[in-house]
Amino acid sequence: MKLFEHEAKEIFRAFGMPTPPGGVARTPAEARKRAEEVGKPVVVKAQVLAGKRGKAGGVKFADTPEEAEKYAEEILAMRINDLPVEAVLIEEKLDIEQEIYVGVTVDRNERKYVMIGSGAGGMSIEELAEESPEKIIKRHVDPSLGFQSYEARDMAIDMGFKGKDINKLSGFFTKLWNIVSKYDVELSEINPLILTKDGRFLAADARLNIDDNSLYRHKDVIERIKREPLEMNERERMATEQGMAYVELDGNIACICNGAGLTMATLDAVELFGGKASTFLDLGGGSDKERVENGIEIALMYDKVKAILVNIMGGITRCDDVANGIVAARDDKGIKVPMVIRMVGTNEKEGQEILAREGIPFLTTMEDAASKVVELVKEGK
């Protein structure tokens, strides 16, 4: 369950984390009122469960309430990552001395939480890790002890802070750990955590993702935010309703498979041959003609898709059903991107005969199929 920034900040404040003064607005007139209440230049931020909103134009600075109203009107009319912006957060524009990154997530290899900090906040932590890994400080958390105060101070020192700033920053780490512990958080970030020129630390941003499997323990959160736990775009909603596992990625090749392991392996094979997946779509076991056709339809709705790779391992799923679904999708949906098919297993011969009869080429190994779809995308076919 992902929380909006303003929802996460409400929890932050309840744990004693300072945030910039301001409030939520759902209309331009309300944005103007919030800016008047702040009484200083403000930032107008789209409240949407998507990253890179600044690059999308969802963050603007306003010197007057009139400007805040104007920018709010523009932002509320936007869609970011295909999600509508239904609210904006109006907050005081801060006088920044330094931007800091503070976060916590799960390290599945170590089977532990890991606290992360960097004195170079304000940019994507993934980009920072690639360009300047030495600037990222990490501490794994002993699950039996939790995150200790001395560990938080050590992190602040390793991040380059001195004097009173050490205790101020370590307090953010400690409070963030308390939130993670109480709410079964999978991921939380403050990026940036601002050190102002007058020496204050303020959470200028807030990200908080709660484990869906723990929501029965946190009904107070759902009651407080008064909305459904899940925020999805139309494609995600359609896939979820049909019991498919669907995740959108940054590439341009939609991978449609049956089984999470096979889907992950297919994504790896595509990358091995120089491509990038746009879609992780696991049809699940027992996929029939209709399910295959619907899966292809959902994949095609994503505008990044330049090709489709269907990779099926027939068990309880029958290859002839899959083939009939592929044919139906081609005939009904008017597919305009290349589609590469690989399927083996139950009724493999019958399925391949159906595809051959319909003039749809197929391959029998995942490696060949991944290589072929990447080749077609690079050729622009």
Tens digit of pLDDT for each residue in 16-31?
A: 999 999 999 999 999 9
- Give the span between the Cα atoms of 234 and 283, in whole angstroms: 17
- Pairwise pLDDT comparison (133 vs 279), residue with the higher score: 279
Q: At what angle do helices 348-357 and 319-333 cross, to 10 degrees?
A: 20
Task: Judge contact between 310 and 287, C-beta under 8 A.
Answer: no
CB atoms within 10 A of CB 27: 14
- Grade residue 83 by pLDDT with cuts at 50, 70 and 90: confident
- Give the span between the Cα atoms of 141 and 182, in whole angstroms: 15
Q: What is the pLDDT of residue 81?
A: 80
pLDDT tens digits for range 163-179: 999 999 999 999 999 99
Q: What are the boundaries of each domain within the chain?
A: 21-92, 96-225, 234-379
pLDDT tens digits for range 265-304: 999 999 999 999 999 999 987 778 899 999 999 999 999 9
Please tell me the number of Cα atoms within 13 Å of 130 on its side-chain side.
Answer: 4
Q: Which helix (H) or strand (E) holds 345?
A: strand 339-345
pLDDT tens digits for range 332-343: 877 889 999 999
Q: Is 150 a catalytic residue?
A: no
Record: fold of 96-225: D-amino Acid Aminotransferase; Chain A, domain 1 (3.30.470)
Residue 274 region, left (φ>0) first, then alpha (ψ -120 to 50), else beta?
Answer: left
- Grade residue 381 by pLDDT with cuts at 50, 70 and 90: low
- Give the span between the Cα atoms of 117 and 159, in whole angstroms: 7
- Grade residue 227 by pLDDT with cuts at 50, 70 and 90: low
SS3 breakdown of the chain: % helix, strand, coil, rounded to 5? 40, 25, 35
User: Per-residue pLDDT averaged across 298-315, rounded?
Assistant: 93
pLDDT at 256 over 50: yes
Q: What is the pLDDT of residue 236?
A: 85
Q: At what angle do helices 319-333 and 289-300 cross, to 10 degrees?
A: 40
Task: Judge contact between 330 and 297, C-beta under 8 A.
Answer: no
Both structure tokens of 81? 């990552």
Q: What is the pLDDT of residue 288?
A: 85
Class of domain 234-379: alpha beta
- Grade residue 231 by pLDDT with cuts at 50, 70 and 90: low
pLDDT at 135 over 90: no
Q: What is the pLDDT of residue 123?
A: 65
* Phi, psi dihedral angles at 77 (to 5 degrees): -90, 0
Greatest alpha-carbon span in the chain: 76
Of 39, 11, 31, 38, the closest CA to residue 190 belongs to 11
pLDDT at 349 over 50: yes
Of 313, 312, 302, 258, the closest CA to residue 279 belongs to 302
Q: What is the pLDDT of residue 229?
A: 47
Superfamily of domain 21-92: ATP-grasp fold, A domain (3.30.1490.20)
Q: Is 246 a catalytic residue?
A: no
Q: Which of 7, 71, 91, 101 is catalytic?
A: 101
Q: Which of 189, 236, 248, 348 is catalytic?
A: 189
User: Per-residue pLDDT averaged across 348-376, rounded?
Assistant: 93
Q: What is the pLDDT of residue 228?
A: 55
Instruction: Tell me if domain 21-92 and domain 234-379 are identical in fold.
Output: no
Q: At what angle do helices 28-38 and 65-76 cross, to 10 degrees?
A: 140
Task: Judge contact between 152 and 164, C-beta under 8 A.
Answer: no
Q: What is the pLDDT of residue 55?
A: 86
- Grade residue 88 by pLDDT with cuts at 50, 70 and 90: very high
User: Per-residue pLDDT averaged across 65-91, rounded?
Assistant: 94
Q: What are the DSSP calls for 177-192, one per residue?
A: HHHHHHHTEEEEEEEE
